Amino acid sequence: MSPSHAQHRRVQQHSSAFPTRQLFVLALCRICEPIAFMSIFPYVYYMISSFHITNDEKQISLYAGMVTSAFAFAEFSTGVLWGRLSDKVGRKPILLMGLAGTGISMIAFGFSPNLTTALIARALGGLLNGNIGVLQTTVAEVVTVEAHQARAYSIMPFVWCLGSIVGSGLGGTLADPVRNYPGYFEHGSLFDKFPYLLPNLVCAGVVIFGMVVGILFLEETHEDHKDRRDYGLDIGDWLLDFFRPNQIDEKAGETLALFEDVPPGYSSSESSPALNPILVGELPNEAQPASPQLAGSSRRDAAVSNAFTWQVCLNIVGYGILAYHTISAEQLLPVLFSLPESHEAPNLPFQFSGGFALPTKVIGFILSAQGFIQMFATLFVFPFVNRKIGSLATFRLVILSYPILYLVVPYLTLVPTALRMPCIYFVLVWKVTAQALSYPSLAIMLANAAPSKKVLGTLNGVAASSASLCRAFGPTLSGLVQSLGLSVGVLGLPWWANSFVALIGAVLSLRMVEEKRRYSKAQEANLDSEDLPFLDADVLESVPSEDLRN
């Protein structure tokens, strides 16, 4: 380990400040995926149409849902595997592998000449990507001060919003460049043969940048692997020393000087599992953090099986339901924007059809605007609301609004043309604010419900798999229901079905309680022992919050 790297670890070991540097690096790695994922939404309907499988707009909607689902279904099939693997080999290698899989998938998707290749390319990206659960685990391990949780857990959704803005903008702007920018791209060129290659190449370049940042600056957070030699970090530290040698030496010296008078044995690390500092020197030998050799596979398996408490299971199921109806809405909305307008008179309240007939550029702009709104809600609204009423009350507040939202959306096609865009943006504000508040609230509740941080990777992997399974079936089932609805002239059928699913999630939230972590390093180490109960009353304090607080 290089002196610079070791020095940074020493600073981090004694710091209980907000872990800005590592969260910033995580954010740079994280932003690559929403850019890649969201870039296809503005043009996926037109891409399927260009394959000339069918001229039936109902079938195109179904195939678009299948393309969206392929990634999520494949991600579900390997999500638990990547989570368990991250518990064994560390978080960083799995995160980098996920980025590599995303980059390969995007390039293959851009070169897809038919629907089969497009489906395989999307599935490949899902198979090689387990980053959703592993990222949640990494954030939980980096942020151990409870007062920092709301702020920290709002960063990744904020980054997703930023990435969705960039991704939607890239997809809408760069798709079919020969037709949209004839002065720069010629007929008969590579981009004429593959009209949706350009946005995928640009997104792949962004992913490569994220991989480089991760290799050079992302630190391992797993307790058993964070002290091993990392040549990527050594190179990154050397680059920092080369470009800013004086600033780094001075800042490191000043920071280390702050801890010269720290009492022996006192430790409160950003990457430790404890939410409160403890006196390590006073711990008995058997209470010291367990080494990888002591944490046997049989004990770890027993710990994992005991980790699935009632509240953990409720959170995982709730995560899946939330993922189902939100990803279904993400897929249904661009299709609604793309569908041609109907000239038939509606037969209210249920029988009407037709969309907005918007071009890809306008759809990309709307989706980018959606990202800006969600950024604001994530950065400012969520931390404020979460501090005021807590994670559970925040989650319930927004989850109860989803069924109403999905009931309203289809009727936007019936409003006068002059009022359509204001109504669209009103619904977008509603939708993205609900997303900005629901996902981080649920992530905090799951992290706090975990009996031990040593199984966080597995729990988040299962949660990610639950979400991926629902994201896989969501767009496909919604596409089927949409095809059925369009065939009988009921445009709102998939939206109202989505409303019913959201209602189930709202009812489920009434059974959840809010828990707070209260385990120390000594207790954390002992959680691997077969002699202690896995979940102890002194380790985890359950605080019920049955009613919404004002």
Domain around 146: 3-227+309-342+358-543
Gap between the Cα atoms of 384 and 515, Å rounded: 19
The C-alpha angle 36, 156, 539, rounded to 5 degrees, equals 135
Listed in sequence order, the residues at least 6 apart from 462 whose beta carbon sits closer than 8 Å to its beta carbon are 79, 80, 83, 133, 308, 316
Gap between the Cα atoms of 202 and 206, Å rounded: 6
Specify if 412 maps to a domain: yes
Gap between the Cα atoms of 447 and 451, Å rounded: 9
User: So what's the pLDDT on residue 498?
Assistant: 92
Bridge partners of 173? none
Specify if 388 maps to a domain: yes
Gap between the Cα atoms of 303 and 308, Å rounded: 9
User: So what's the pLDDT on residue 260?
Assistant: 40
Specify if 212 maps to a domain: yes
- pLDDT < 50 stretches in the chain: 1-14, 248-298, 302, 518-550
Specify if 510 maps to a domain: yes
Buried b (16+ CB within 10 A) or exposed e, 114-134: ebeebbebbbbbbbbbbbbbb
**What CA–CA distances, in Å, run from 481 to 63, 330, 427, 458?**
12, 15, 22, 34
Specify if 17 maps to a domain: yes
Q: Are 486 and 57 in contact (CB under 8 A)?
A: yes
User: So what's the pLDDT on residue 265?
Assistant: 35
Gap between the Cα atoms of 406 and 26, Å rounded: 33
Specify if 290 maps to a domain: no
* Six-digit token string for 421: 């865009």
User: So what's the pLDDT on residue 243?
Assistant: 80
User: pLDDT tens digit string along 472-499?
Assistant: 788 778 888 888 888 888 888 999 999 9
* Six-digit token string for 432: 């993205």
DSSP state of 337: H
Q: Cis (ω within 30 of 0) for the bond into 19?
A: no
Gap between the Cα atoms of 78 and 73, Å rounded: 9
Q: What is the CATH number of the domain that holds 442?
A: 1.20.1250.20
Bridge partners of 414? none
User: Which residue bears the tokens 């500092």?
Assistant: 277
**Count: domains in the chain:** 1
Residue type, 396: R
User: So what's the pLDDT on residue 305?
Assistant: 59
* Six-digit token string for 345: 């008179």
Gap between the Cα atoms of 505 and 510, Å rounded: 9
Q: 389: exposed, middle or buried (C-beta count within 10 Å: 0-12, 13-18, 19+)?
A: middle
User: So what's the pLDDT on residue 503?
Assistant: 94
Specify if 460 maps to a domain: yes
Gap between the Cα atoms of 380 and 231, Å rounded: 38
* Six-digit token string for 511: 């059974």
Specify if 178 maps to a domain: yes
Cβ neighbours around 88 below 10 Å, total: 14
User: So what's the pLDDT on residue 121?
Assistant: 92
